[in-house]
Amino acid sequence: MFSSAAEYAIKACIWIATQSTKGKLVTIDEIVDNTKLQRAFTAKVLQTLASEKVIGSVKGRHGGFFIPENAPERISLFDIVQAIDGNKLLHECVLGLKICSDVKPCPAHFKYVEIKKRLTDFLLNTSLQDLTKGVDEKEFFLHF
């Protein structure tokens, strides 16, 4: 459903948030080890998230990535996906047509309008904090 980059971003942010609540900075190696994501692509995604101010980063030997205190409850999935993919998922035609609207709809337009509404609601109302619950307890997993 999401781009590979957005999927990487969500998984990485979940891991960073679980560690940030413990006051830890997370290195790229820790993220990769705990999510089984590909290192180079993850680094690129994290760089984008940091430049978009979704996550914080500290450079240097003892640096790493973090999510500021109380931010996991304020950061929504929408924030993460938008930082990586923009609004493409919510504003473009599901069939990829350049012109698609209520006036000039594609064959899937009206069915997808409802799905977009529900997806937007899910993205806006699901916080990073919501997704971190149960990860440390191994109730939920970021990789298999």
DSSP string across 50-105: HHTTSSEEE-STT-EEE--TT-TTT-BHHHHHHHHHTTHHHHS-TT--SS--SSS-
Return the domain boundaries, the chain.
Answer: 4-132
Query: In degrees rounded to 5, what are phi and psi of residue 82?
Result: -65, -40
The whole-number pLDDT of residue 40 equals: 97
What are the average pLDDT values for consecutive 10-residue runs of the chain, which has 144 residues?
Answer: 93 95 94 96 97 95 91 94 90 91 95 93 96 87 82
H or E element that contains 108: none
Question: Distance between CA 80 and CA 29 in Å, rounded?
Answer: 21
pTM of the model: 0.90
Q: Is the Cβ–Cβ distance between 47 and 56 less than 8 Å?
A: no
Q: What is the DSSP letter of 140?
A: S
The whole-number pLDDT of residue 90 equals: 83
Question: Distance between CA 101 and CA 39 in Å, rounded?
Answer: 40
Fold exhibited by the domain 4-132: Arc Repressor Mutant, subunit A (1.10.10)
